[in-house]
Structure 1
Amino acid sequence: MIERHMVSTAFEIPGYTAEKSLGVARGIIVRSRSVVGSIGASLQTIFGGNISLYTALCERAREDAYERMVAQAVSLGGNGIVGMRYDATEIAPGVTEVLCYGTAVLLRNT
């Protein structure tokens, strides 16, 4: 498992040198809202502010995509990920794809 401090949106991790780039590691998750969740969120929109049901759904989707990316980086032989990014696309009404990707690298202490 790659520890969280070994994943960065930057293209380097301070104190480490990338010995080898192992390619793109990605994690994809597709989520949909439940009918009950959609009704609850619709009620929250009436009052404005944070829509906690959607926030929780987005957080879970991002975490799942992140964990899948890390697993793929490990399977490539990496112990770090640089240039990590998220992307999301609505592929159908109420169905969203969340992608987490970065470059899997083999790092060593400098």
Structure 2
Amino acid sequence: MPEPGNILILTINDCPGYRIVRVIGPVYGTSVRSRNFVGNLLGGVRAIFGGRQSGFINMIAQTRDDAMLHLAEHARSLGANAVLGMRFDSGEFDSGQGQAMNEITAYGTAVVVE
């Protein structure tokens, strides 16, 4: 069984080595981030001349990690100790002030395993 307080998060729909004793239901965690003006400007220059967009890559990785933390918190709050079938969904939207916002949602099915 996962350590108390830890949530086992799997992308598969079963939990090898464990027995599912209760299905709680859907859980999710969402994170939204934006780059600052300077980061957007430098990213735009790199896009023109080509090159790795490390600032954007780091921001997306941090956003994804935050979404997974929120997913685990949601599952834990419902009494789960595992999340199965975890997936990501992502999008971008305008904040209304010309600032692009990146959103990532992690979702899956909260369960109790033994």
Q: Establish whether TM, by shorter chain, passes 0.5.
A: yes
SS of match in other structure, 2:19: strand
Q: Which residue does the alignment assign to 2:83?
A: 81
Q: What amino acid does structure 1 have at the position aligned with 2:29?
A: G
Matched residue type, 1:102: G
CA displacement at 1:31 relative to structure 2: 1.4
**Which residue pairs with 1:15 in the alignment?**
17
* In 2: Cα distance, 1:85 partner to 1:24 partner: 12
Q: How many percent identity over aligned positions?
A: 34
Alignment RMSD (CA, Å): 1.4
Runs (4 or more) in structure 1 with deviation over 4 Å come to none
TM-score normalised to structure 1 length: 0.88
In structure 2, relative to structure 1, the CA distance for the partners of 1:71 and 1:44 (3 Å cut) is same
Q: How does 1:43-58 map to 2 (within 5 A)?
A: 43-58=45-60
Cross-structure match for 1:104: 110
Number of corresponding residues: 106
Q: Which amino acid aligns with 1:40?
A: L
TM-score for the superposition, normalised by structure 2: 0.85
Stretches of structure 2 lacking an aligned partner (at least 5 in a row):
none
